[in-house]
Amino acid sequence: MSHDSAATAERNVSPARLEAISDGVIAVIITIMVLELHPPQAATVQALLGLWPPLAIYLVSFLFLATFWVNHRYMFSLIRRVDERVLWSNMALLFILSLIPFSTAFVGQTRLAALSTALYAVVLFMAGLAFWSLALGVNAQYEPGDAPAAFDPRQRLIHAAGLGAYALAIPVAFLSPLAALGLIVAPGLMYVTRLTRPN
């Protein structure tokens, strides 16, 4: 093997290596989120119930991260090679996901205030866009007639509907943060059903 070939091989990132890095980042994100949960000062039911905003937004964020992790692992099973497009789309996704602990804590500490809920929806919408960019990068590695079922029009429509819900939640947050939270939860609930799985 020539020196140039060896250097190229060292620079190459395998799908398994990039997936392992991504798994580690998501695990750290979840750890940071749970560390933001603090027990009540008093051992009473009332004090525990007073923690519902941080607990509720934590559950929403965990559901979001869980669905992204499942879809991310499935997407990586379809990758033929880690090219520049896939590599940087994945890094953009990880960067945006790394903002979830901050936006989650912001919503919890402000008790579902309009601005913090809208910002939270922005982060989730941007994560959805980054994942779509990653999916398009993987899809580009296939010939038009050979693309897996994950890239068929039905799957694209489902993903577009999820993005639409996150986008709609941004202005809705200024009218009703709880309604915006419902729009944010809806895609996560949809993704755990068989509806979103390729035929």
User: What mean pLDDT comes out for the span 111-127?
Assistant: 97
Q: What is the per-residue pLDDT for 196?
A: 66
Does the pLDDT of residue 11 top 80, yes or no?
no
Q: What is the DSSP letter of 176?
A: -
What is the DSSP track for 94-156?
HHHHTTHHHHHHHHHHTTS-HHHHHHHHHHHHHHHHHHHHHHHHHHTTS-GGG--GGGSHHHH
User: What mean pLDDT comes out for the span 13-33?
Assistant: 94
The pTM score is 0.89
Which candidate, 55, 34, 36, places its Cα nearest to that of 111? Answer: 55
Full domain range(s) for residue 107 = 3-196
Of 131 and 10, which is predicted with more confidence? Answer: 131
Name the domain count of the chain.
1
- pLDDT above 90 covers a percentage of the chain that reads 68
